[in-house]
Amino acid sequence: MSVRELKPNRKQKVVADVALVARTLVEPVINYIRFFLLLWLSQCQAVALAAPTQDFNTLNNTVKRLIAAQHHEEECIPLLEQIIKFKVTPDNKEELANAHYYLGRLYFDIQNNSDEAVKQETEAINLQPQKLPLADLYYLRGVYRSQSNQFDESMIDLQHSLVLRPKDPVTLYRLGNVYAVQKKDDQAIATYSKVLTLLPPSHKAYQKCLFGRAQLYQRNNQYQKAADDFTALGKIAHPEGVRLARAYCYEKLHQFDKAMADYNEMVSYDPDNDDARRKRGNCLLSMGKTKEALEDFDRAIKINPTSTNYKARSLAYEKMGRKDLAAADKQKANQ
């Protein structure tokens, strides 16, 4: 073998040198690319993890804008339904509670779905929010439960609300209504009476409580108290609307002059009110004025031929000894 054969091939040496230079120049670039690729992947992961929070905030802000704009409540429902699907975290707990609260209101106000409304307010209560008053949540759930005829549960909710806000007249009014439906009349009267000490007579809740208490007094045969409440109500709102109720109380108290004055006022105000005609006829019948009573019953039937009006006239015919006419009216009443 010659010495020339032992020396490196010139071509091989050039290739090796080029490879060395290329490695020296390219390797930093590759490392640089690798670094930024890893950094980009890391950022993508962070964005992916943060995406649900961003979606939550976007939805929540959209709902807030719709609420602020008003008259867009129905559009909020599907957005709120998405919001409440997010997992509760310390950062979104308050907002989730608020979403449940507002969704419950919309279910009730727009869809008239009291059962779903109760579920949403229950979720809001379970989150124990700091910024959203629990008194409001218990109050709303109590109202929704009363609409679903869950009166015992409604009563408990309203009482919870009053523990937190003892002198809230609207909550007291609602609780009085629940007591009245459950025929806990003494408690209802006491609750309505408390409202009357907290509100001015011009307030609607005051007027509703006064009317409700009058009805309860009437139901319990406390006719003078009922008449007094109807009189007080007539001085501040819709006197025509309470005259018939007060006239009935006077009639039960055998204060026929006062009863007839109210009935006459009502018939004068609304001549085609068959209810007023029939009730005045009943009063006249109690006073022994059968002929005048019959005239009112005839007019009531002409206005509105209901079974109630036919039954009332049949009593007048019986007192007149006209059993045939009384039987005919009874038959018509049963048709």
What are the structural domains of the chain?
52-132 (1.25.40)
Q: Where does the pLDDT of residue 133 fall: very low under 50, low under 70, confident under 90, or very high at 90 and above?
A: very high
Pairwise CA distance, residues 310 & 274, whole Å: 12
Pairwise CA distance, residues 282 & 289, whole Å: 10
Would you say residue 42 has pLDDT above 60? no
Would you say residue 298 has pLDDT above 50? yes
Would you say residue 3 has pLDDT above 80? no
Helix boundaries (H) for 199-238: 204-219, 223-234
Q: Where does the pLDDT of residue 41 fall: very low under 50, low under 70, confident under 90, or very high at 90 and above?
A: very low
Q: Which of 48-57, 117-126, 244-253 has the lowest mean pLDDT?
A: 48-57
Pairwise CA distance, residues 260 & 255, whole Å: 9
Which residue do the tokens 């962070």 mark? Answer: 46
Dihedral sign of CA atoms 45, 46, 52, 54 in order: negative
Pairwise CA distance, residues 102 & 95, whole Å: 10
What is the model's pLDDT at position 32? Answer: 63
- Enter the DSSP assignment of 28: H
Q: What's the pLDDT tens digit per position in 76-127?
A: 888 888 889 989 999 889 999 999 999 999 999 999 999 999 999 999 999 9
Q: How many CA atoms lie within 13 A of 202 on its CB side?
A: 0
What is the model's pLDDT at position 52? Answer: 46
Q: Name the pTM for this structure.
A: 0.75
